[in-house]
Amino acid sequence: MNFLYSLQSEWLKTKRSTASWLCLIGGAFIPLIFLAGFIKDQRSINAYTSPDIWKKYFFQIWQFMSLAILPIGVVLASTLITQVEYKNNTWKQLHATPQRFSVIFMAKLGIILLMTLKFFLYFNIGILLSAVIPSLLFDHRFPRQAIPVAFFLAENGKLFITCLPVIALQYLVSLQSRNFLVPIGVGIMGLVGSLILIQTWQYAYLSPYSYTPLQIVGGKAIREKINIPLLSVSYFAGITLLCYYLYMNKKEKG
Amino acid sequence: MYGFLGPNGAGKTTTLRLLLGLLQLQGGEVRLFNKSLAKSRIELLRKTGSLIESPSFYSNLTAAENLLVFQKVYGCPKARIQESLELVGLGKTGNKPAGNFSLGMKQRLSIATALLHQPSLLILDEPTNGLDPNGIIEIRELLRRLNREQGMTILISSHLLAEIERLVTHIGIINKGSLLFQGTLEQLQRKQSQGSVTSWHTNEPGRAMGIFRSYAILPTLVDDQVLIPTAERELIATLNEQLVLNKIEVYQISPVKNDLESIFIDLVKST
């Protein structure tokens, strides 16, 4: 029960926050570009000739998302949510409330995960709207294939799991550093470095930042060679434990 | 009401942070309500409200939303949000984000946060920082009322004795991490009367000291002026008469300033 109240309290802090706006803008960005392209060319999703129109569209749109917007969005959201206490000088107030430190730690992590889910939700709504709106606008026939809900959920689930190591690592750095630029710098360097390594080094998958792009653009070969979800979960568990240890043993709590 | 005094950098904030468990103890034990903070942290924090140093609030949220954040974790009734805001004069701030508040309003919001769950102990670290004179008087009145009507124990820190001497009943004076004085305001005032001296400016301080000694008074010489413990005015008149009879020119007899502020400064300087 305490955890739920703590979670509610943390969720309230994201109201009108930069992280919240980024989540909406980041989630809507790529679908809006696709929508604008359809409208400009007076086309709709029906122009796709594949028998699996939805799957093709899904992967095409996710390709852009997984390479940049999603990893950067996750880095920014994790950092901004954690740094809200440094920015507002509120760690001392939060740590003087009658809550266990472990509850505060888990509630904050929970909010970052929920915010990432919200990002996924906005993006998926965006995917559907960018497909549906042009069809209605130009009175095109809607694809005959049913929307593969189970497939959408499964692929979203896998991609969400690939974000976990980045979330844990950003959470760790953000909790340790008062300076907002440090976690952002670590995140951006990790992402850019991983994107370069994916092209040039066979062990690029060792980087916790590499899994989201690898899941979409890594190809079948890499997915057969390594178990991306398992590696992601392992990294997440390991980094979260380290993060918890460092947080609990921090000498100064505000 | 306990006034915790000390110059900047004396260790006031560090002590208050230790009291709230925000800093790891290097030794010893913190006890509040006769219970160990380490063993009963959550129970003790439920009874404690605090404002440490600069105001802390979420700038993207309104005043009411800020209190809602803490209402959830304290589990107090929602009605307390408006009550606390009214108490500090922020009842009508509407949808204005707290980030757009003036410094005084931000300070009041932090005090409202500290009061939200009606704590038995209120710890305020320099709560009048940034407030205008009217704001300072209002906050002083509010604290008096909380103490009188709700029986709230208030620990208030400051680097200015004048700011809190009319507010508190007990005083602790700290400097460089050591407690130099702790007691009631009366005890400090007694220290003041014990310590007061009269300064004599004459052309022959050496001979003047001899005359004072013949009256069983212990004089001290500071910057060519003779200091003696403040005596009855009749004795001062007699001493003056004796000096004049002994052909000593008396230029000035004056009490040395020794109010509470001077005692505070002397205590702090002596460390």
ipTM of the complex: 0.88
B53: pLDDT strictly greater than 90: no
Which of A13, A15, A98 is nearest residue B42 as measured by Cβ atoms? A98
- B15, B16, B22: best to mutate for the A interface, most A CBs within 10 A: B22
Domains in chain A: how many in total? 1
Classify residue A12: in a domain, yes or no. Answer: yes
CB atoms within 10 A of CB B52: 24
Provide the percentage of residues in chain B whose pLDDT is more than 70: 94
B18: pLDDT strictly greater than 90: yes
Under a CB-based contact definition with an 8 Å cutoff, are residues B164 and B158 in contact?
yes
Amino acid A217: pLDDT: 77
Does the distance separating the beta carbons of A95 and B58 come in below 8 Å? Answer: no
B265: pLDDT strictly greater than 80: no
Q: Say which residue the tokens 């009411």 belong to.
A: B64
SS3 B254: strand
CA distance B223 to chain A (A): 48
Amino acid A7: pLDDT: 95
B200: pLDDT strictly greater than 80: yes
Amino acid B193: pLDDT: 62
Classify residue A254: in a domain, yes or no. Answer: no
What residues in chain A have per-residue pLDDT under 70? 1, 140, 219-221
Residue of A nearest to B40 (CA): A98
Does the distance separating the beta carbons of B56 and A98 come in below 8 Å? Answer: no
Amino acid B164: pLDDT: 83
Does the distance separating the beta carbons of B73 and A98 come in below 8 Å? Answer: yes
pTM of the model: 0.84
Residue type present at position B256: V
- Rounded Cα distance between A95 and A38, Å, is 51
Residue type present at position B199: S
Classify residue A253: in a domain, yes or no. Answer: no
CA count, 13 A, side-chain hemisphere, A4: 2
For residue range B80-117, list pLDDT tens digits in order.
999 999 988 899 988 999 999 988 899 999 999 999 99
The CA-atom distances, in angstroms, between A209 and each of A127, A194, B21 are 24, 6, 36
Under a CB-based contact definition with an 8 Å cutoff, are residues B116 and B49 in contact?
yes
Which of A12, A90, A93 is nearest residue B65 as measured by Cβ atoms? A12
Task: Work out the pLDDT band at B259, boundaries 50, 70, 90.
Answer: low
Question: Strand pairing partners for B50?
Answer: B123
Task: Work out the pLDDT band at B152, boundaries 50, 70, 90.
Answer: very high
Which of B21, B23, B69 is nearest residue A13 as measured by Cβ atoms? B69
CA count, 13 A, side-chain hemisphere, B115: 26
- Rounded Cα distance between A65 and A116, Å, is 13
B30 touches A at CB < 8 Å: no
Amino acid B260: pLDDT: 63
User: What domain range is A54 assigned to?
Assistant: 2-248
Q: What is the CA radius of gyration of chain A?
A: 20
- Rounded Cα distance between B111 and B66, Å, is 12
Residue of A nearest to B68 (CA): A9
* Listed range (B114-123, B161-170, B233-242) with the worst mean pLDDT: B161-170
Residue B271 makes CB contacts below 8 A (sequence gap 6+) with: B175, B176, B178, B180
Provide the percentage of residues in chain B whose pLDDT is more than 90: 55
B46 touches A at CB < 8 Å: yes
Amino acid B261: pLDDT: 66
The CA-atom distances, in angstroms, between A105 and each of A3, A253, B100, B107, B163 are 10, 12, 29, 27, 39
What DSSP designation does A178 have? S
Residue of A nearest to B19 (CA): A96
For residue range A74-127, list pLDDT tens digits in order.
999 999 999 999 999 999 999 999 999 999 999 999 999 999 999 999 999 999
How buried is B45 (Cβ within 10 angstroms: 0-12 exposed, 13-18 middle, 19+ buried)? buried
Chain A positions contacting chain B at CB under 8 Å are 5-6, 8-9, 12-13, 15-17, 84, 87-90, 92-93, 95-100, 251-254
Task: Work out the pLDDT band at B257, boundaries 50, 70, 90.
Answer: low
Instruction: Please list, residue by residue across A113-140, b when 16 or more beta carbons sit within 10 angstroms of its beta carbon and e when fewer do.
Output: bebbebbbebbbebbeebbeebbeeeeb
How buried is A13 (Cβ within 10 angstroms: 0-12 exposed, 13-18 middle, 19+ buried)? buried
Residue of B nearest to A104 (CA): B73
Classify residue A185: in a domain, yes or no. Answer: yes
CA distance A76 to chain B (A): 17
